[in-house]
Structures are given as C-alpha cells and as structure tokens.
Amino acid sequence: MLITADGNHHTGEPMNTGVAVQSVVQIGDLIPRGTRMNVFQSIYWVFIALGTLVGVVVVGYMVYNAYRYREGGSHAEDGDDERPTLGEIPTGGGKGRKLFLSFGLSAVVVISLIVWTYGTLLYVESPVAAQESDQEELEIQVVGRQFSWEFVYPNGHSSFELVVPEDTRVRLVVTSDDVFHNFGIPSLRAKTDAIPGQTTETWFIADQPGEYQAHCYELCGAGHSGMNANVVVMQQSAYDEWYANTSGGGGNTSDTSGNASENGTRTTSEALTA
Amino acid sequence: MSSIKRWFVTTNHKDVGILYLVTSLFFLIFGGLLALLIRVQLLQPGGTILADAAYNQTVSAHGLLMVFWFLSPLAFGFANYVVPLQIGAKDLAFPRLNALSYWLYLFSGLLLGISFFQGGTFSGGWTMYAPLNVPIYMPSIGATTTVLALLMFTASVTVGGVNFLTTIHRMRAPGLTLRRMPLFTWTILLTVWMMLFAFAALLAALMILSSDRIFGTVYFAATDSGGSVLWAHLFWFFGHPEVYIVFFPALGVMAEIFQTFTGRRIVGRKWFIASMVLVAIQSFMVWMHHMFLTSINLPVKTLFMATTIGISLPFDLMVFALIYTTIKGKIRFKTPFLFAFGALVLFILGGITGVFLGAVVLDYEFRGTYWVVAHFHYVMVGGVTGLVGGIYYWYPKITGKMYDEFLGKVHFALYFVGFNLVYFPMFLAWETPRRVFDYPEAFTPWHQLATVGAFVLGASFLVMFYNLYASLVTGEDAAPDPWRYVTTAEWAVPSPPPLENYPGRPSYDGGALQFLEEAGPRPSGIAAADGGAGTRTDGGVAATADGALAGGHDHEESHASIWPFGLSLAGFFLLVGLSGVNTGGTAYVALTVAGFALGAYTLVGMARESQTFHGPSGPFGESWPFAKVENMKLGMWFFLASDVVLFGAFIGSYVFIRVAFGWGAWEPVPHDPVPGLMNTYILLTSSFAVVMAMVAAQKGSRNGVVASLLVTILLGIGFLGNKGIEWLELFHEGLWLSTNVQTSTFFLTTGLHAAHVIVGLFIALYMLVRAWGGAYLDDDKPVEYFGLYWHFVDIVWLFLFPLFYIL
C-alpha cells in the first residue's frame, strides 16, 4: 500500500521485469506482442472463444440436467430413496469426486489463461526490455483538466491535439491538474489513470496514419461526457515537418495555458453537437 | 395496539423483516426509475434529456440506491425474518437495536431523497472518486447530504451486523452446531462478518469525506500527498468485499431453493461452506484490482492479479455444486426455482466475463467501459434474480397466502428476457465509455435494444407487485410447508409463524428438529443476565420470550419501543442540519441543534427502558465459540472490533498521506508533546478508576462505585480540558482543521478519539446517576461493559500519542 503512494514507479523495476521477460521469451512465441492493438486482439479473441465454449457447455449441461430430472420425467424417480425431510440436520449429497474434478478442470483453464496473459502483461509494462532494436521512442506529457487534455512535447510545444508519427512507440506520461481522470485512446488500446499529484505511464504504437479519438474514462464532473481529444497519426516525414514547425514556438507554449478552458469548452460543445 | 402504531414500535424480527422487505422494494422502484431515465437518454446518440450534471446525478444516485438501499436491505429483510427461525431463536439478540437498524436505514434513504432538492444530489458516481467529491469541485449541499445519508446507512449496517453476529453465534438451538447450520444462515453469517469490517472502512472514508465537506479538512483535496489515491484505497477496501456482501445472501437463497425444488441435498456441502469462508476472508485482499491503472507497481499488480484469480476459483466450486445438486432430482419448475436457476445462469455469464477482467492486460482496456457495466450488472442483478426467487419462496411463509403461480412464471419470463436484453448488448457495445451520456453512432442498435430490455425488465416487476398484492387478498391459504422436500425449521411452523415462533423449545439433539416442552419458569436472574445495561428486575417483567407464551398481548406490549424510531428521526434532523450548517443558514443550524437535543432525549429514554426491556434470554443451545460470553458482552466485542477497523483506517490514512508527503519532512502539529503525555497518564489512571468501580460493585459498595465513577468522569473531563487548552493554543497560532494536511490529520484523528471520550463520559454520567440510586451492586456487568469500551479508547490513545506527538 505504501509503495503505491509513490507515483513514479509505474513500470516497476526495469531490471527485474527485464529478466522475467527474457525467461518468458524462452518459453516460446506464445506470448502476443507488437502493438497494443495486436496484443489486445489476440488475447481478447482467445478469451471470447474459450469463454463462449465454457459458457455454452456449462449452461447447456445445466439445462440438460434440469430437463432430464424434471418432475414427471422418466428419471424423476432416480433419487427417490434419498429425498430430504423436514427438520433433518443439513448434510451434503454425494458426488464429491465429480465436484472436485470439474473444479480442478476449471481452475486449470482459468489459471493457465491468466499465466499466459501474464507474459504479455510483462511485455506491456516494460516494452523496452523486450524490444529487439533500439527503436526511438517519443515521450509526451499528458495533462488532464476539467474538461480537456493538454499534450506537451519534448521541445516544450503544447497543444490540445495529440499528433504522433506512425510506427513509433509513443510513451505517454499522464497526470491531472484537478480531479481524477482517465486518459484512453480506445482504437490504439492505450489507457491510464490521470491522477492529480501523481504521474502514470502508458504507451502505444500506431501502425495506421489517420485520426483517432481520446476520451476520459473516469467520471470527472459535468463536462465528463465531452472530455475528448483528437489524435492524429502522421507518416514519419509529415510528422517531422509538423514537429519542426512547432519547435521554435516558445511563445506557443506560453499562451496555451490561457487557452485551456476555452479550448476545453469548444471540445465539449463539439461533442454535444456531434 | 392500533395496526399503524404497531409498525412504529415493533421490535419483533418478523415485523422488522417485513419492513425491510417492503422498504427495499420501494427503493428498487426509485433506483429503477432512475435506470429507465438513463436508458431513455441513451436511446439515441446525442440525446439531451439528461445532459451533463443531470446525467451524472442520475447514474450516481442509481448506483448508490441499488447497491446500498435496495440490494442489501432486501437480503436483510429475509435475514431478519428467516435466520432466527432457521436457528431456533425467538428473536434477534437485541430486538430494539434491530428496529434501530431498520429506522436508520429508512431515514438514511429519505436523506438521499432530500439531497435532490438541495442544489442537486451527489454527481461523482457511486465510487465517489476524490478529489471530485470535495466541495471545490462539487459544492452542492445535496452532495453533502448524500455523503451523510451513506454515513447513516453505514451506522445502520454496523448496528445490524453486531446484532446478527451475536444472534447467530450465540443463540442456536441445541444440536445446531455451526457445521450443521442451514446454508442461508451460513451466507448471512459470513455476510455480516464481512460487513462488520468492510463497512467500518467505509465509515472511516465517509467520516473523513464529511469532515472535508463540512469542517474543511483537506484529506482528499491534498492531491500532492496522495489524497486522490487514498480515497480509492479506502473505497475499494470496502468496495470489493461489498460485492460479496450483496451476493452471498443471494447465493444462500439459491442454495435453499435448489435443494427444495430438486429434492436433493446440496453436493459437497462442507466444501461449499469452506469456499464461502475462503472468499469472505480473501475478499479483503483483492481491492487493488480496481486500481490496476493507477500508479501501483508491477509486483503489487501481480499480487493482486493472483489473489483475484484465487478468489474466483471457490465460486467455480460453488457453481458446480449447485449444478450437480440437480442430478437425480425431482425438479419442479415453480417460480422460485425458475428465478434461482436463472440467477445461476446469469451468474455464470457474469463470472466468465469477470475472468476477462482478471487478465490485467484486458482490464487495462475494459477500464471505464460498458464491459465493466455489463459484467457487474450480470453479477449483481444476477444476485437480485436469486433474491427475487427468495421473495416467491418465502412469500407463503411470510403472508400465509400462496402467490399466483401463472403470474409468477410470466414475471420470470419477462424478467429473464428483459434482463438479457438490457445487459447483453452492453457487452457487444462494450467500447462505449461508462457514465457518458453519448455514444458513437455505430452502437445505436445495441443501446436501443438495451433500452427496450430495460422497460421489459421494469414491466416484469409490475407483474410481481400485482401478483404479491392481489394474492394477499385472493391467494389460497398456505400450509406450513407448501413445497415438500424443505428441511429448514421455518417450514415446521405455521404460515405465518406465530409471534413466539415455535410451539416448544426447538432442539436438534435427537438427530432431527423436535419441539420440546417449554421448561418451567426459569429463575429471573438468568432472564435478566442478558438484558444488558439494566439492573436485575425481579419478576414482574413479562418481556422475556418465555413470558410471551403465557400472555401474548403482554409480550407485544413489552416488546414495543418507540425509541429506535425516535433516535433515527433525531439522527435524520441532525444530518439534514449538518449538511448545510457551514452555510450558516438558520434552518440548518436550528435542525442541527434540534437533532442533537432529540437524540440526547431519545438515548436517555432508550437507556431507561433497558431496565424493563429484555431481549431473548438464555441459556441457549449452541453458542460455540462464545458459550461463556453473554450476548451483551459479545455484542460489545463485535462493536469494538469494527471500531478497531475504523481507527485503523484513520491511522492508515494518516500514515499513507504522511508517507506520500515525505515521512521525515512532516512536522508533528503540536510543538510540545507534554500536554499529550499528560493526557496519556490521565487516561491510564482513568482506566484504573473503572476497574475500581467494578471491584466496588462486586463488593457491594455503593459509595465505592459512585466514587470510582466520579473519578473516572473527572479524569475524562481533565483529559478533554487539557486537550481543549492545547487546541486553543494551536488555534491562536493559526493552526486549525483546514490549515494544511498535517493539521487536518491531527485534528480529525485525535478529534475522533476525543469524540469517543465524550461518548464514554455521557455513558459514565448516566451510570453515575444510577449508581447513586444503588444500581450495579448485584449486577456489575454494565460496569464491565463500559470498562471494555473505556479501556479500548485508552488503548487507541496509546497509538495516537506517539504517531501524532513524537514521531
């Protein structure tokens, strides 16, 4: 509990997780990696498939038994020699072995699923350690406030639209200026809490240029529903050009804080009319 | 007694059970209408019926009402009615406290209703995340009232929890050991154990929040010192056990219904119970899985992922146990079974989708979306489904009339279709952000299906209400056992059961339930021993349950008490007043004062009544492991256990904030530890004085009791005086509650302790007056119970002093 008071250790100790990831890598290529979308999709669909299967089997079995042993059915007399009586001391019926067999089976399924995803969690928590090349990484500060998102680039440029290059890992360092928010870009599968007084981190790699939306995922006040931001993914060259035009703009940085509320209102009203 | 007055003064567990049931269904309608409003808003993207603040208020009040004011109270209606019958008790251990729980619950719900008219109710979601919950961001008085309503509800739960724990642990029929208890009683026992600790943590969180809102302390606004995350920890430490608190009673109802309508004993009964015990304990070790995206680090995430998966496994076993119970059954598809069976299907779906959330990588993306909304509705409303089965199951027992089976089946059909129509599309449209009144066009069909489903689900309850109401008049009379293959004791007595519950003394000693002839009149000493704070009253009091059999009317009269209602009304006035007292409005100040005055008056009235009002008296059959502890003492121990968690949460909050601030950089607020040290000695001395009072009472020395109590009181006043001087000095230095996070934690935590001292002083003062009249000489137990409390308060100070003065 105490450890969590410190907001700066979101990724854990890179050393430990690094070692862990390496050992996991040796297990095989079962662990999904790549962009956050890849990771999510592969795990999600395995869960959906298995979940549906388990659900259909279990509920089907329930309904089958309920029908088979219905009153008036041909099997209804099967257990007539051992029906409970009023006032007896409660005891259990038999079939303990069958119970433990099913329980054991379900435990194996659930635990192996979770262990499998844990390898991916290690990757998501510490992608650098798992990476082959020394690919460049872009770090952007995200500040949430009622009811807008501000993005601050390494050169000090700040804006209310997140512009990033494709195929580059973008690391978001997220905080809040007022209440508890949560920053998420659903299509890029990046999400993390924006907590006042603390920073958290998340990352994503966008492999398709285009426009995306970021939302707030924690109820944060009257304008919560409209607390969105545009995310623009550009080709590397276009991004470089865009970024070069911002780098000189020290003045750009200073006047954005004044624009914050105005811009926030605009975003909100846009969402309302959308 | 007129029929209306009866309901205001009743303390009988069956009456209180009915009050709980009816009231909870009223709040179901309230919360349900809000849900329909939400679904109407979501009929079209870009809807504007409820925008911004109105939508936020609606979702918040809907969540709070359903979780707190509907689900648990519905379960506790059954618990009140059925548990004493199942264990062979004539009533709960403390009948007046039971009535008090109910009235506190009712008035807390009214408070929530009032909050809508005080500038808007709370609008930060039922999770009430900080710092949105403090006045800077949510200034309405109604938001404060909501927090106070929840505080009052928590008081109700704590009182009720102590009562049920004492009852179930101490008052079982001979031969009914814990292992032999019916499953519904087992689920209630575990539920109240979880409640005792979980709600104490919530109480701490709400007290701090109320103080932030009313007195201006800065716990949750202190975001630089972890205030925001502190709330999340406190809330979820309560919030996750709360999931099982609302679900366990439903599980118990389902287990009973499955056994009855399949005509089978449950498979693996002892493992079923063991699983529930495991879940109850482990439920306090999973809370951070609600916080995977906060700044907690990977090792902590891993730990909580493991405990979360661990807690899901016992449920697998329980589900399979219920399924296998149907094998070789003779299954009758009556309405209760349909609902229980449906509940199991829904719970399985809720469980499977919960495993998704247990995978942290998936949880990251599901956070704040409709996946979570759909999942917990499948689990929680799945639980409601089981409880609705309980309504039909016990309706004949409670009313003595059969409901209409056809309408019951119609209700189930509409309910089950409506349920899946409203919640299943939410999985398909799971990318919709939660608590947002708008959504992308692409999800329109799913949300429209959900809206239709919500109305079908709502309409199904109209069928139920009609059925239950009409059957009261036109239903056939119900036999004691209308179902066959039931086992538990409530079916062995007429429907509805007579006031005294049983035709004789229930016992399982012979290997099955028997009603033994009543033993002759017992020595009244035993009867009074459990009565609590009163002196022994020789004869004359027909209040014991045995007396009731002799003369039913007397029983009713002597078991009537208006004080639980009065005290709750006083609390209601007080809290309405407190909600706006810092605005300085005359009405608010007047209500606060009036509430205090009425509260004091009713407390004295209730205490005086204790001399003639006695709960069920022993000796009881099975009381393991508390055979040697009387009810009153055990109740006191349970209360103190919850108080330990309350102070633990306060001290934990202080340590959390201080660590986030920087432990070493934090200066203790009082520059001078000497007044604190003096107070330590004063309190320790006062503890000896209480011991002296007990010794004097045992020796039969009236003067000794009076003198020792007087010394205790004087020392207590000395403690407060000394503290008052210290606080006054700090105030003159400009240090007060709202100055900074150091002063906030100091004044609030030591202030909570001082409040405990003040309460103790009032009790001691009351006892002094009675001791002067010669009380306690032949029964020193009240002195002993007061001593327990007083020693506890002293021990707390031994922790607070070093933490706030030295370190």
Question: From CA A135, how far away is CA A137, in angstroms rounded?
Answer: 6
Alpha helices of chain A — where are they, by DSSP H?
Answer: 14-27, 36-68, 96-125, 236-247, 250-273
Where b means 16+ CB within 10 Å and e means fewer, B405-436 reads: eebbebbbebbbebbbbbbbbbbebbbbbbbb
Contact A89 B437 (CB under 8 A): no
Nearest-CA distance A184 → chain B (Å): 8
Q: If you search the block for the tokens 């995922």, which residue do you land on?
A: A217
Domain membership flag for residue A87: no
Helices (H) and strands (E) in chain A, counts: 5, 10
Kind of pairing between the strands at A137-145 and A148-152: antiparallel
With contact defined as beta carbons under 8 Å apart, do B38 and B73 qualify?
no
Kind of pairing between the strands at A181-185 and A158-159: unpaired
Nearest-CA distance A267 → chain B (Å): 14
Question: From CA B483, how far away is CA B489, in angstroms rounded?
Answer: 13
**What are the average pLDDT values for consecutive 10-residue runs of chain B, which has 807 residues?**
86 97 98 97 90 92 98 98 96 96 98 96 96 96 97 98 97 95 98 97 98 96 93 96 96 98 95 96 95 92 93 94 95 98 98 93 95 97 98 98 98 98 97 94 96 98 98 96 96 94 93 82 37 35 36 52 97 97 93 97 93 84 90 95 97 96 92 93 96 94 95 97 96 94 96 97 95 90 95 97 93
Alpha helices of B439-541 — where are they, by DSSP H?
Answer: 444-474, 524-529
Q: Which residues of chain B does A65 touch, with a Cβ-Cβ cutoff of 8 Å?
A: 323, 326-327, 329
- What are the C-alpha distances in Å from B421 to residues B171, B177, B426? 45, 44, 9
Cα-Cα-Cα-Cα dihedral sign, residues B11, B146, B72, B190:
negative
Kind of pairing between the strands at A169-176 and A200-205: antiparallel
What rounded mean pLDDT belongs to chain A? 81
Give the domain extent around B797: 667-806
Give the domain extent around A185: 137-273
For residue B32 the two structure tokens come to 């349900």
Find the CATH number of the domain harbouring B771: 1.20.120.80
Query: Which residue of B lies nearest to A225 if distances are taken between CA atoms?
Result: B436
Q: Specify the amino acid at residue A67.
A: Y
**For the segment B257-283, what is each residue's pLDDT rounded down to a tens digit?**
999 999 999 999 999 999 999 999 999
Residue B369, strand partner residues: B433
Contact B362 A80 (CB under 8 A): no
Domain membership flag for residue A151: yes
Is-cis flag, bond preceding B131, omega within 30?
yes
Q: If you search the block for the tokens 């209630």, which residue do you land on?
A: B188
> Where is the domain boundary, B477, B492, B507?
B492
Q: Are residues A141 and A269 in the same domain?
A: yes
What angle in degrees, to the nearest 10, is found between the helix axes of B674-699 and B702-732? 170
CB-based burial of residue B392 (10 Å sphere; 0-12 exposed, 13-18 middle, 19+ buried)? buried
What rounded mean pLDDT belongs to chain B? 92
Q: Are residues A164 and A60 in the same domain?
A: no
Q: Are residues A141 and A260 in the same domain?
A: yes
Q: What are phi and psi of B435, to 5 degrees?
A: 60, 30
- What are the C-alpha distances in Å from B217 to residues B150, B220, B499? 19, 9, 50
Domain membership flag for residue A8: no
Q: Are residues A152 and A265 in the same domain?
A: yes
Q: Which residues of chain A does B327 touch, with a Cβ-Cβ cutoff of 8 Å?
A: 65, 69, 95
Q: Are residues A209 and A265 in the same domain?
A: yes
> Where is the domain boundary, B492, B521, B542?
B492
pLDDT above 70: percentage of residues in chain A: 77
Contact B295 A4 (CB under 8 A): yes
What H or E segment, with its residue span, contains residue B32? helix B13-41
For residue B282 the two structure tokens come to 């482990």
Query: Which residue of A lies nearest to B316 if distances are taken between CA atoms?
Result: A103
Predicted pLDDT at B519: 59
Predicted pLDDT at B708: 96
Contact A1 B224 (CB under 8 A): no
Asked if B227 has any chain A CB less than 8 Å from its own CB, the reply is: yes
Predicted pLDDT at B526: 32
DSSP state of A88: B
Contacts across the A-B interface (CB distance below 8 Å): 344
Domain membership flag for residue A192: yes
Nearest-CA distance B225 → chain A (Å): 7
Domain membership flag for residue A172: yes
CB-based burial of residue A134 (10 Å sphere; 0-12 exposed, 13-18 middle, 19+ buried)? exposed
Structural domain count of chain A? 2
For residue B353 the two structure tokens come to 């989708």
Q: Are residues A209 and A161 in the same domain?
A: yes
Predicted pLDDT at B52: 83
Question: From CA B775, how far away is CA B370, in angstroms rounded?
Answer: 62
Domain membership flag for residue B545: no
Domain membership flag for residue B333: yes
Domain membership flag for residue B163: yes
Nearest-CA distance B316 → chain A (Å): 6
Domain membership flag for residue B510: no
With contact defined as beta carbons under 8 Å apart, do B255 and B322 qualify?
yes
- Which is nearest to B328 in space by CA: B269, B278, B256, B264? B264
Question: From CA B583, how far away is CA B527, in angstroms rounded?
Answer: 51
- What are the C-alpha distances in Å from B369 to residues A60, B236, B429? 29, 18, 9
Q: Which residues of chain B does A129 touch, with a Cβ-Cβ cutoff of 8 Å?
A: none
Predicted pLDDT at A129: 62
Domain membership flag for residue B557: no
Of the residues B212, B311, B330, the best mutation for testing chain A's interface (the one with the most A CB atoms within 10 Å of its CB) is B330
Structural domain count of chain B? 2
Asked if B720 has any chain A CB less than 8 Å from its own CB, the reply is: no
The 10 Å Cβ neighbour count of residue B778 is: 12
Residues 6+ apart with CB under 8 A from A151: A140, A141, A142, A143, A158, A159, A160, A161, A162, A163, A229
**For the segment A87-138, what is each residue's pLDDT rounded down to a tens digit?**
999 998 877 889 999 999 999 998 998 888 998 899 888 877 655 556 678 9
Q: Which residues of chain A does B491 touch, with a Cβ-Cβ cutoff of 8 Å?
A: 86
List B residues 55-94 in contact with A (Cβ-Cβ < 8 A): 55-56, 59
Domain membership flag for residue A132: no
Query: Which residue of B lies nearest to A116 if distances are taken between CA atoms?
Result: B359
- Which is nearest to B636 in space by CA: B794, B753, B788, B791? B788
Question: From CA B118, how far away is CA B21, in angstroms rounded?
Answer: 28
Query: Which residue of B lies nearest to A77 if distances are taken between CA atoms?
Result: B330
Nearest-CA distance B437 → chain A (Å): 6
Nearest-CA distance B720 → chain A (Å): 33
Nearest-CA distance A128 → chain B (Å): 15
Between A3, A55, A83, which is nearest B348 by CB?
A55
Contact A55 B365 (CB under 8 A): no
Q: Are residues A117 and A162 in the same domain?
A: no
Residues 6+ apart with CB under 8 A from A237: none
Q: Are residues A181 and A229 in the same domain?
A: yes
Between B51, B485, B513, which is nearest A83 by CB?
B485
Predicted pLDDT at A132: 54
The 10 Å Cβ neighbour count of residue B705 is: 29
> Where is the domain boundary, A125, A147, A181?
A125
Question: From CA B478, how far away is CA B663, in angstroms rounded?
Answer: 67
Three-state secondary structure readout of B97-143: HHHHHHHHHHHHHHHHHHHCCCCCCCCCCCCCCCCCCCCCCCCCHHH
Question: From CA B783, how far away is CA B534, in angstroms rounded?
Answer: 11
Mean pLDDT of A129-158: 86
Question: From CA A180, how far away is CA B235, in angstroms rounded?
Answer: 14
Cα-Cα-Cα-Cα dihedral sign, residues B647, B652, B658, B660:
negative
Between A69, A95, A223, which is nearest B52 by CB?
A223
Find the CATH number of the domain harbouring B357: 1.20.210.10
DSSP string covering A14-72, please?
Answer: HHHHHHHHHHHHHH-TTS--SSHHHHHHHHHHHHHHHHHHHHHHHHHHHHHHHHHTBTT
Q: Are residues A70 and A164 in the same domain?
A: no
3-state DSSP assignment of residue A192: strand
Asked if B553 has any chain A CB less than 8 Å from its own CB, the reply is: no
Domain membership flag for residue A88: no
Predicted pLDDT at B1: 57
Edge-to-edge strand ranges of the sheet holding A181-185:
A161-165, A228-234, A210-216, A181-185, A190-194
Nearest-CA distance B669 → chain A (Å): 22
DSSP state of B287: G
- Reported as half-sphere exposure (CB side, CA atoms, 13 A), residue B604 has a value of 10
Contact A61 B330 (CB under 8 A): no
Contact A99 B264 (CB under 8 A): no
- Which is nearest to B116 in space by CA: B56, B48, B70? B56
Nearest-CA distance A260 → chain B (Å): 18
List B residues 307-346 in contact with A (Cβ-Cβ < 8 A): 309, 312-313, 316-317, 319-321, 323-333, 341, 344-345
> Where is the domain boundary, B492, B516, B548?
B492
Question: From CA A247, how far away is CA A253, in angstroms rounded?
Answer: 10
> Is A51 a residue whose pLDDT tops 80?
yes
Predicted pLDDT at A35: 87
Nearest-CA distance A242 → chain B (Å): 30
**For the segment A208-252, what is each residue's pLDDT rounded down to a tens digit?**
999 999 999 999 999 999 999 999 999 999 999 999 998 744 444
Q: Are residues A159 and A214 in the same domain?
A: yes
Predicted pLDDT at A134: 60
Residues 6+ apart with CB under 8 A from B99: B10, B11, B16, B561, B564, B565
- What are the C-alpha distances in Å from A111 to residues A56, A117, B489, B754? 20, 10, 41, 49
Q: Which residues of chain B does A79 touch, with a Cβ-Cβ cutoff of 8 Å?
A: 263-264, 328-330
Contact B361 A87 (CB under 8 A): no
Nearest-CA distance B364 → chain A (Å): 6
Find the CATH number of the domain harbouring A262: 2.60.40.420
Three-state secondary structure readout of B309-362: HHHHHHHHHHHHHHHHHCCCCCECCCHHHHHHHHHHHHHHHHHHHHHHHHCHHH
Contact A65 B298 (CB under 8 A): no
Q: Which residues of chain A does B301 touch, with a Cβ-Cβ cutoff of 8 Å?
A: 121, 125
> Is A190 a residue whose pLDDT tops 90?
yes
Of the residues A39, A203, A218, the best mutation for testing chain B's interface (the one with the most B CB atoms within 10 Å of its CB) is A218
List B residues 512-531 in contact with A (Cβ-Cβ < 8 A): 512-514
Q: Which residues of chain A does B622 touch, with a Cβ-Cβ cutoff of 8 Å?
A: none
Kind of pairing between the strands at B514-516 and B505-507: antiparallel
Contact A102 B181 (CB under 8 A): no
Domain membership flag for residue A46: yes
3-state DSSP assignment of residue A136: coil
Q: Are residues A141 and A263 in the same domain?
A: yes
Domain membership flag for residue B121: yes
Q: Are residues A142 and A237 in the same domain?
A: yes
Q: What are phi and psi of A202, to 5 degrees?
A: -150, 170
